[in-house]
């Protein structure tokens, strides 16, 4: 009998939420096929569950979380072993052979980036064959997505992010050492490294891609469960950010469904949302070229692809750039008018 532990390592801004929502909504279907996606977690919000899981596995306590997550996780400090044992008990309750256990957290790759830390995690699963899957995003796209997420959830400005871009980008230097540590611990053949580019994903879908590389793509799932984590236009991110500033609301709160409904309503009324890049082509090009050698090594060592890891063309220095100039007063009034009609609320 051979049981397998599939670790989805993240990283942030690579479709982790979409994968987790899919696994959560298909728990029963997975169990009938000998696959356990644990219910033995803590919070009702599944996205928060994954973050707390990473926090509980964390060897030290220096990582910063939102106050809401910390508040929940604090209740379970010191019960890490109990939670892990509950997960294993849930797995053992499924009386089948050759079972699979899936653990997913977008912070696994960041938190467990040395051999010592990885072994601390794996020692809880000594009888499992290990497979790890990690998605990586090109530095410029990672920064763009992080900037928009910051505007959605925190009191943060684009100017601040532009100043911080080098510090954020230099985290790319941690990728190769972390991959080497995972390869040493579980074997390179058991480490799947995937580029988060829709053109390279299976059926241009990160969920389908994960299922394929996890060996779960032969199961007949509910079609309705294949739902991507839709993005909100930057104009609406700024609009809701201004509301939170004006009324001193919790910055960790963002009404995703309301924002998407408002987006559709505004499109029906003829409002055009544009695709903006926060960073200029010149800045993006410089960042990409700084880490190009790292991406090439990843491609050669973990995908056997001599044509590079990311396929999206590098921006040209003189490429046209649609600069985001912030919302105008008439736009804010238009958005607010539609929001206050109340027809968009779920």
Cβ neighbours of residue 224 closer than 8 Å, sequence gap 6 or more = none
User: Does residue 338 have a pLDDT over 90?
Assistant: no
- Kindly state the DSSP code that residue 225 receives in the 8-state scheme: G
What pLDDT, on the 0 to 100 scale, is given for residue 48? 53
| Average pLDDT of the residues of the chain | 82
Answer yes or no: are the C-beta atoms of 56 and 73 closer than 8 Å.
yes
Task: Give tens-digit pLDDT for 44-100.
Answer: 444 455 556 666 665 444 445 455 555 656 666 667 777 788 888 999 999 898 999
Distance of CA 233 to the CA centre of its chain: 18
Question: What ranges in 154-252 are assigned the alpha helix state H?
Answer: 158-169, 175-186, 206-213, 234-246
Any residues with CB less than 8 A from the CB of 16 and at least 6 apart, and which? 8, 10, 50, 104, 105, 106, 135
How far apart (Å, rounded) are the C-alpha atoms in residues 209 and 198? 10
pLDDT in tens, 267-290: 888 888 888 887 889 989 998 999
| pLDDT at 4 exceeding the cut of 80 | yes
Q: For residue 87, what are the contacts with CB-CB under 8 A and spacing of at least 6?
A: 38, 40, 101, 103
What are φ and ψ of residue 55, in 5° steps? Answer: -65, -40
Res. 266: pLDDT tops 70? yes
Beta-carbon count within 10 A of 158 CB: 17
Q: What is the pLDDT of residue 245?
A: 77
pLDDT band at 3 (very low <50, low <70, confident <90, very high): very high
Domains along the chain with CATH numbers: 3-149+171-225 (3.40.50)
- Record the pTM: 0.86
Among 182, 181, 177, smallest CA distance to 130 is for 182
Q: Is 100 left (phi over 0), alpha (psi -120 to 50) or beta?
A: beta
Query: What pLDDT score does 31 carry?
Result: 93
User: How many whole angstroms from its chain centre is CA 65?
Assistant: 15
Predicted local confidence at residue 21, as pLDDT: 85
Q: What is the DSSP letter of 40?
A: -
Q: Please state whether 304 falls in left (phi above 0), alpha (psi between -120 and 50) or beta.
A: left
pLDDT band for position 297 (50/70/90)? very high
Closest of 299, 134, 135, 131 to residue 216, by C-alpha: 131
pLDDT in tens, 115-160: 988 998 898 899 899 999 999 999 999 888 877 777 766 555 666 6
- Cα separation, 287 vs 312, in Å, equals 14
| pLDDT above 80 (res 227) | no
Peptide bond into 323 cis (omega under 30): no
Q: How close are the terminal C-alpha atoms of the chain, in Å?
A: 48
β-sheet with 3-8: strand ranges across: 35-36, 100-104, 3-8, 128-136, 191-195
Tokens 């050759």: give the residue: 98
- For range 171-199, the mean pLDDT: 96
The residues near 337 (Cβ < 8 Å, ≥ 6 apart) are none
Picking from 147, 344, 155, the residue whose alpha carbon sits closest to that of residue 265 is 344
pLDDT over 80 at 258, yes or no: yes
Buried b (16+ CB within 10 A) or exposed e, 204-229: ebbbebbbbbbebeeeebeeeebeee
When comparing pLDDT for 196 and 145, which is higher? 196
Q: pLDDT value at position 244?
A: 77
Pick from 302, 322, 148, 297: nearest CA to 235:
148
The residue behind tokens 């982790």 is 16
* Torsion angles phi and psi, residue 271, rounded to 5: -80, 130
pLDDT (tens digit per residue) in 299-311: 999 998 888 999 9
Which of the pair, 344 or 33, is modelled with greater confidence? 33
* Lowest-confidence pick of 138-147, 197-206, 225-234, 324-333: 225-234
């Amino acid at each position: 009998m051979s049981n397998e532990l599939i670790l989805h390592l993240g990283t942030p801004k690579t479709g982790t939420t979409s994968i987790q929502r899919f696994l959560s909504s298909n728990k029963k279907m997975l169990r009938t096929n000998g696959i356990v996606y644990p219910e033995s977690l803590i919070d009702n919000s599944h996205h928060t569950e994954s973050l707390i899981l990473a926090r509980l596995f964390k060897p030290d306590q220096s990582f910063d979380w939102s106050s809401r997550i910390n508040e929940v996780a604090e209740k379970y400090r010191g019960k890490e072993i109990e939670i892990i044992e509950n997960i294993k008990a849930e797995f053992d309750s499924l009386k089948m052979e050759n079972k699979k256990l899936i653990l997913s957290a977008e912070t696994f790759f960041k938190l467990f980036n040395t051999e010592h830390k990885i072994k601390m995690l794996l020692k809880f699963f000594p009888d499992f064959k290990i497979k790890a899957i990690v998605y990586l995003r090109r530095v410029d796209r990672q920064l763009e997505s992080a900037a928009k997420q910051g505007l959605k959830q925190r009191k943060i400005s684009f100017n601040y992010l532009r100043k911080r871009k080098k510090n954020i980008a230099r985290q790319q230097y941690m990728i190769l050492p972390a991959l080497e540590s995972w390869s040493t611990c579980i074997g390179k053949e058991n480490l799947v490294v995937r580029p988060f580019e829709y053109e390279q994903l299976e059926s241009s879908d990160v969920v389908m891609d994960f299922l394929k590389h996890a060996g779960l793509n032969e199961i007949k799932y509910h079609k309705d469960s294949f739902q991507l984590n839709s993005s909100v236009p930057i104009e609406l991110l700024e609009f809701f950010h201004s509301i939170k500033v004006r009324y001193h609301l919790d910055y960790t709160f963002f009404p995703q469904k309301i924002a998407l409904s408002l987006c559709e309503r505004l499109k029906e009324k003829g409002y055009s949302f544009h695709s903006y890049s926060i960073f200029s082509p010149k800045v993006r090009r410089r960042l990409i070229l700084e880490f190009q050698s790292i991406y090439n090594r990843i491609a050669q060592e973990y995908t056997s692809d001599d044509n590079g890891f990311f396929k999206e063309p590098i921006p040209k220095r003189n490429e046209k750039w649609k600069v985001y100039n912030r919302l105008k007063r008439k736009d804010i009034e238009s958005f607010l008018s539609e929001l206050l009609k109340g027809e968009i609320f779920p």
